[in-house]
Structure 1
Amino acid sequence: MLRISNIDDINSGLDALVALDPRLEAVRAIAGEVPLRLTEPGFASLASIIVSQQVSTASAKAIFGRFSTLVDPLTPQGLLAAGEGVFREAGLSRPKQKTLLAVARAAADGLDLDDLCRLDAREAMATMVAISGIGPWTAEVYLLFAAGHPDIFPARDVALQSAVGHALGIDPRPGEKALIRLAESWAPWRGVASRLFWAYYRETRGRDAAPPAGNPA
């Protein structure tokens, strides 16, 4: 199965998307650089995505910076041994605390987050959402950035909904179900389409709304 692993893959995907949907040529021109945003798979990358849920990019980076300093190395074993005080010091909400602990326990019990990236996307999604607190958005973003899956589009992402609505003149902006249907026409390059619209959002709104995932490229 194809993986998005370098900037040439991004450019190939963008060329294919424009051929599939000529409207995206203008979106590409405005978006400018479309980053790879690939990160090493593993617990730290998934933790950074969990931390970024429902907060601004700046807040997520600050909280994750504190958290990764307090739990060093940031591994499942390190977190389970650290105690709950680190969550309060980092500024993490109670639901995120529970999710991080659930992931750490699953990993300690044998879940291999690296091997997960080699699975078919549907199988990997099913495995991830079975963990308490892990929803589709978190699983999708992990598989996009840590596994390089080429055909995942996190339609629940508000920034993507806003960017697609603005770029394609859809008012009000498409919701999750409408965006899922719309993105079907961008298969098998929906993973590149998501990066394209996050880049478009950055250029039109003046801020980066793509979820952080570890230290993306």
Structure 2
Amino acid sequence: MGLSEQQLKASLDALAAAEPAIAAALDRIGYPPPRIRERGYATLLRTILGQQVSVKAADAVWRKLAEVAGDPTDPATIRDASDETLRSAGFSRQKAGYARSLVDEIASGRLDLDNLPADDEEAIAALTRVKGIGRWSAEVYLLFAEGRADIWPAGDLAVQIEMGRILGHATRPSEKLTRELAAGYSPHRGALAIFTWHHYGAGADAAPV
């Protein structure tokens, strides 16, 4: 379960009290809605299916998988499906390989989604052992599905853009600088990441006044 509305508000209030630029941005656009996903296999499989395609296309593959192979939320469905069956559901060869890697990591016990390491970096390392799950996907999973309060996906383009805008930078900060800029905002960086996406979605309304 991701960060609740109350948790987001409490963290952003703490950040606003410490950083006038964040306070000003919060005054302009308000608090973001929660971003919550279910913990577990199904969310990671949907993450793989959603790579480089629209939400609509990923949903279509999910539905087709249910039609031709069985319950998409059960790892055995991917395990038992032939390559031809997965292709008929809309899986590319690459995504089929990624899905099988996820199932293998879970079946072997190397990845226990109910008991990921408490340390965020160790949890990211465990998730990224799955082929097709990179650091960004792992961070978003930990933030949205586990509600880890200090996750900071500094490699996200929107996070970089909006951190620059909020803090008054003339150009988009690099990933390294974006990470450095938020170092002092621990342990509230997860809420800050969600706020930057909210700020990004606000568009022109988020421009400094």
TM-score, reference length from structure 1: 0.81
* Aligned equivalents of 2:176, 2:113: Cα separation in 1: 28
Query: Which of the numbers 33, 36, 52 marks the counterpart of 2:34?
Result: 36
SS of equivalent residue, structure 2 residue 33: coil
Partner in structure 2 of residue 161 of structure 1: 160
Unaligned 5+ runs, structure 2: none
Partner in structure 2 of residue 12 of structure 1: 10
Q: CA deviation at 1:97?
A: 3.0
Alignment of 1:58-137 (within 5 A): 59=54, 61-69=55-63, 70-71=65-66, 72-85=71-84, 87-89=86-88, 91-110=90-109, 111-116=111-116, 119-137=118-136
- Equivalent residues of 1:99, 1:133 under 8 A apart: yes
Provide the identity percentage.
38
* Aligned equivalents of 2:204, 2:88: Cα separation in 1: 32
- Equivalent residues of 2:40, 2:114 under 8 A apart: yes
* Aligned equivalents of 1:84, 1:33: Cα separation in 2: 45
* Aligned equivalents of 1:83, 1:31: Cα separation in 2: 49
Residues 1:50 and 1:162: Cα distance change in structure 2 (over 3 Å):
farther
Larger RCO (CA within 8 A; separation ≥ 6): 1
Give per-residue Cα distances to partners, 1:142-194, cap 9 Å, x unaligned.
Answer: 10011100001111111211222233332321121111111112111000000
Relative to structure 2, which stretch is displaced further, 195-204 or 121-130? Answer: 121-130
Residues 1:62 and 1:87: Cα distance change in structure 2 (over 3 Å):
farther
Q: CA deviation at 1:108?
A: 1.8
* Aligned equivalents of 1:37, 1:78: Cα separation in 2: 28
* Aligned equivalents of 2:143, 2:51: Cα separation in 1: 16
Q: Which amino acid aligns with 1:199?
A: H
Q: CA deviation at 1:86?
A: 5.3
- Equivalent residues of 1:67, 1:87 under 8 A apart: no
1:152 and 2:151 correspond: yes
Unaligned 5+ runs, structure 1: 207-217
Aligned residues: CA RMSD:
2.3
* Aligned equivalents of 1:82, 1:42: Cα separation in 2: 20
Q: CA deviation at 1:12?
A: 0.3
- Equivalent residues of 1:42, 1:113 under 8 A apart: yes
Q: CA deviation at 1:139?
A: 0.9
Count of residues in correspondence between the two structures: 199
* Aligned equivalents of 2:143, 2:21: Cα separation in 1: 23
Give per-residue Cα distances to partners, 1:90-134, cap 9 Å, x unaligned.
Answer: 555444332222111111222221222x62212211211223332
- Equivalent residues of 2:154, 2:175 under 8 A apart: yes
Query: Which of the numbers 44, 47, 57 marks the counterpart of 2:45?
Result: 47
Q: Which amino acid aligns with 2:82?
A: G
SS of equivalent residue, structure 1 residue 36: coil
Partner in structure 2 of residue 143 of structure 1: 142
* Aligned equivalents of 1:21, 1:62: Cα separation in 2: 39
- Structure with higher Rg: it is 2
* Aligned equivalents of 1:95, 1:162: Cα separation in 2: 30
